[in-house]
């Protein structure tokens, strides 16, 4: 009787272990699917989007709205995969804050604001942005820190164009206009590189506050804020 009971216990343990493994695998597959095609977490690493987004803001990115794209490469390897994009609800519009794959480093994700889309004519005159000949308003929390205006012959920072955005491309800039490495420097962003639209801040961590000061270490007022 004891041997029979021991045998039953072992088989039960094996069945339970098998169920645990299956559950873990299903959860992993589901998490990968959600991350790849629905929503993805992103952390703000630099000040190029200040004061709209701050270093230490943790975001959720809506990948479904534009149509999620296929993985860039096989996970944990450098083997690239063919690109495809699922149908989306709409394409990126001027004013959208988007996360995209860098045109210079395909393994790096960047966040900027779309300023102009394909077919539109962009011009920057003494820091003032014009699209299709009309001056566009600066985002509410955007900023310029340098009062000096760089001439066109020196750089594209404050004077650029007019230039027409080519098919399949968009022009992006950071809200911290004088401290953002964006389309003014490296050119057009292919739409296929866009991964999703910044949706909401789910957490915000102030690295400059003392570690023991939890009241100020966490930016409580930013948690749950929609990104515009």
CB neighbours of 125 closer than 8 A, spacing ≥ 6? 159
Catalytic-role residue among 5, 13, 22, 48: 48
Superfamily name and number for 38-222: Umud Fragment, subunit A (2.10.109.10)
Peptide bond into 226 cis (omega under 30): no
- Our answer to whether residue 127 is catalytic in this structure is no
pLDDT at 209: 83
pLDDT along the chain (228 residues), means of 10: 54 69 61 60 92 94 80 56 69 95 88 97 96 94 93 93 95 96 96 92 89 82 92
pLDDT at 130: 97
103 and 170 Cβ atoms separated by less than 8 Å = no
pLDDT at 168: 94
**pTM of the full structure:** 0.79
Catalytic-role residue among 63, 69, 112, 191: 112
- Our answer to whether residue 183 is catalytic in this structure is no
- Number of residues written out for the chain: 228
Q: What are phi and psi of 164, to 5 degrees?
A: -100, 130
Q: How far apart are CA 84 and CA 16, in angstroms?
A: 39
3-state SS class at 160: strand
pLDDT at 2: 45
Q: What is the 8-class DSSP label of residue 80? A: B
70 and 81 Cβ atoms separated by less than 8 Å = yes
């Amino acid at each position: 009787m004891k041997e029979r009971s021991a045998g039953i216990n072992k088989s039960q343990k094996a069945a339970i272990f098998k169920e645990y493994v299956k559950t873990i695998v299903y959860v992993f597959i589901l998490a990968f699917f959600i991350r790849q095609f629905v929503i993805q977490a992103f952390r703000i690493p630099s000040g190029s989007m200040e004061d709209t987004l701050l270093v230490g803001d943790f975001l959720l990115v809506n990948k479904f709205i534009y149509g999620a794209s296929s993985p860039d490469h096989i996970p944990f390897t450098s083997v690239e995969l063919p690109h495809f994009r699922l149908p989306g609800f709409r394409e990126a519009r001027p004013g959208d804050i988007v996360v995209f794959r860098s045109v210079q480093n395909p393994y790096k994700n960047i966040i900027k604001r779309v300023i102009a889309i394909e077919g539109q004519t962009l011009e920057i005159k003494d820091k003032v942005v014009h699209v299709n000949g009309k001056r566009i308003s600066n985002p509410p929390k955007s900023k310029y820190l340098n009062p000096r205006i760089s001439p066109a012959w020196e750089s594209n920072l404050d004077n650029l164009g007019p230039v027409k955005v080519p098919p399949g491309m968009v022009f992006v800039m950071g809200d911290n206009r004088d401290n953002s490495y964006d389309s003014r420097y490296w050119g057009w962003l292919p739409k296929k590189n866009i991964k999703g639209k910044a949706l909401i801040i789910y957490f915000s961590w102030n690295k400059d506050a003392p570690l023991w000061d939890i009241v100020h270490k966490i930016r409580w007022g930013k948690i749950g804020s929609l990104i515009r």
